[in-house]
Structure formats: C-alpha cells, structure tokens
Structure 1
C-alpha cells in the first residue's frame, strides 16, 4: 500500500561519492575552504554528515578528493585537446583553450586550486603543487616536440612560465568576468608561442 511518501532510490557508493564531490566543489567554490562546512555539503547532497565522514574521513579528506579528481580531469581534457591538433602551434592553442574551458566548466570551484586567499594548508598544498607539476610535465613534453634539440632546462623553464602565466591569467579573467576562453587563449599564444617563435628566428638569423 502506497503511503504517499516518495520512494528514495538507493545509489551505489561510487555514485554517492560523485554526488558528494560535486556538492563539495560547489560549496568550496562559493565559500572558500575555511568557511565551507561539512553540514553545507551534506545538505546539498541530501544526506547526513556521518555519510560524508564515512566516505572521506574529514573536511580535508574531502578537499583532497576534490583536488585529486580535478587533477585527473584536467590532465584528461588537456591531453585529449592536444592529441587532436594538426600542427605544433595548434597543439599549444588547443591545450591552452582546454585549460580555460575546464576552469569554466568547474564554475567557482577553480578558485579552490588557484586563488591565493582561499588556499588551505597542509596536504592540500602538496596536492595543488602536484597539479602544477602534472601540467608542467605535459607542457615540457609538448615544447620538446617543437624544439627537440633545445636545452631541457630551458624547456622546463618555459613550462614553468606558461603554468604561472596561465594561473594568473585565469585569476584575472575570473575577476573581470568578460574575457572568453578564446580571448585568454590568444593572449597566452601572443606571449608564449609567438614569443618563442621569434626567439627561434633570432637564433637562426644569428647562425647564418
């Protein structure tokens, strides 16, 4: 006999964790890590706080899980973008655009990764640096394809510059709110790709 109460569908542990991570991304993005509460995340999911602790152990554990997922997804989208490029220049452009579009798709949660005044302490700092290192390695590999005979230290230095510039550009466009992913991509291309191309031309002229 139907009592009129809605029937709650049981979800798998994997699906529940995804729901919790989605909610945590939103809450952390809206409030910052320090002001966010497990209660707010639980309310958004529609579960009790003990469910969150059962899955992630603590608020820091939940944050680290969010960052681990972001790291995997960022690598996936940027790798896929560059894999479909038809030239080295297009490889750089597609990779930059994928980065900015990824941040857009995360809404306010990207501040969790790059906004200085919301940056938590502890293990999350190492997780953030891990994301940077992952992207630096990917960019170094792409730059190595462009200039196979270049000094590896110079290539790594360029990659560090690109990662830093990308973060600052992302923060700036986030504050403005009127810079598209395509526009940000072209700003980065102007400074990075075309600047490097000019340097390569200068070195070629000097050796003639």
Structure 2
C-alpha cells in the first residue's frame, strides 16, 4: 500500500495552479488593504509559499499587480465574447454583451475594485482593458453593419465602452454619494444598468436610416 504523506507536508500543485493561487491571494490582499499597504511577504504567507517563489513567477510586486489585471482583462473578454456569440439579433448581441459585462464585474468585484483603486499604478493596464473592449465591440458592430466606415464603428464602440465604465463606477458608489438624496441609491442591478445603456445607445443605432440595425 502507498504510504500516506507526512503530516504537514506541502501539497504539490502544478505551476499554473500555483499562479492562480497567488493571483487570488494578491487580489484579495490588494483589494482589502491597498496595493501600497500590502507586501510580498503577506501574499506569500497567505498562499503558503516563500517570497522567492513569488518573484520567480511574477518578477516584482508591480509585476504581480499587472498579472492580476491581465487575468481580469482576459476573463472579461471571454465572458462578453461568449454572451455575444449566443445572440440572435444585433439588439440581442449588444444587450447580452452589456449584461455579461456588468455580471462579470459583480462576480469578480475584488479584481475590478483593485483595477480602479490602483489606476495610478496601473493606468496603462486600465487603458488596455478599454482598448480591448472597444476593439471587441467595434468588431461585433462591423459584422452587423459592414458598409459603415471604421471610424464611425470605433466611435460607437468608444461611446458604449465609456458608458458601461461610468455605469459600473456609479453602481459601485455608496448610496447617497455624489449629492444624491438619502432615499436614492446607486445600487442598481446589472439588469437595470443594461437597460439604461440600451435605452440610450440602441435608440441611436436602430434609428439609422438604411443601417443594418433594424428597430426592435
């Protein structure tokens, strides 16, 4: 019979799993305490590895932060791509993609709290997220309206991404901030936020004469 591992022995995991564990711990710590107030020692302790292991995987504390953001960016693209692929009409495509955006931010709230909280350190990474989503949306719009010039498609995509981002930031605010009366709250659902965007954006797209975006 195979012998049992000694009590207290460290479980062997794959490199990819170890990296996921480190990223999960880093996101939690950076979100809880702030990037500037979190140390590599604390991350290593939470994961159960030595600090040199962190440097072997990510090079530096900033490299660890950027890896957290890179993972969040990839997961966001996967979520929105899968949602759009299931759509049956142009309107459904935009609605599903927008809803997936808000749902994903809710499901991975610490990742996105970290991204916006550390925008000064990760300004370039945040802009890469915006560029990724802009390119994605412009590509979807191009498939529905192939005769529209690229500048116009990119402009539409910029508007959609900007609106989604501001809605996401607004949803994350505490109630009664920004001069809102106490009875009003920014805690709207992802479904409500999607409807707010569709009411503004889809009205314009669907109303284009001769366009490929037929009214619902």
Bin of the TM-score, shorter chain as denominator length: 0.7 to 0.9
1:38-53, aligned counterparts within 5 Å? 38-53=40-55
Shift of 1:185: 1.0
Please state how far the C-alpha of 1:52 moved relative to its aligned partner. Answer: 1.2
Deviations 1:83-142 (A, max 9, x none): 0111110100110011111111112220233x2x53133xx3322222211110111112
In structure 1, the partner of 2:20 is: 18
Partner of 2:58: 56
Cα distance change, pair 51–195 in 1 and its aligned pair in 2 (3 A): same
Displacement, 1:143?
A: 1.6
1:182 paired residue number: 191
Q: CA deviation at 1:186?
A: 1.0
The structural deviation recorded for 1:4 is: 8.1
Contact 1:34–1:118 (Cα < 8 Å) also in 2:
no
Q: Contact 1:33–1:119 (CA<8 Å) still a contact in 2?
A: no
> Of 124, 128, 131, which residue of structure 1 is paired with 2:129?
131
- Residue matched to 1:206: none
- Superposed, which structure 2 residues align to 1:38-187 within 5 Å? 38-113=40-115, 115=116, 117-121=117-121, 124-176=122-174, 178-187=187-196
Q: Contact conserved, 1:38 with 1:52, CA < 8 A, in 2?
A: yes
- Seen in structure 2, the aligned counterparts of structure 1 residues 57 and 26 have a Cα distance that, compared at 3 Å, is same
Partner of 2:200: 191
Query: What is the alpha-carbon distance in structure 2 between the residues aligned to residue 4 and residue 47 of structure 1?
Result: 18
| Preserved contact between residue 68 and residue 111 of structure 2 (Cα < 8 Å) | no
Equivalent residue in structure 1 for 2:10, among 1, 5, 8: 8
Question: Which has the larger share of helix?
Answer: 1
1:24-35 correspondence to structure 2 within 5 Å: 24-35=26-37
Q: For residue 65 of structure 1, report the CA deviation from its aligned partner.
A: 1.1
CA gap of 1:157–1:172, structure 2 versus 1, over 3 A, is same
TM-score of the two chains, using structure 1 as the length reference: 0.85
CA RMSD, Structure 1 to Structure 2 (Å)? 2.3
The 4+ residue runs of structure 1 with deviation greater than 6 A are 1-4
Q: Matched residue pairs, number?
A: 198
Higher relative contact order (CA 8 A, sep 6+): 1
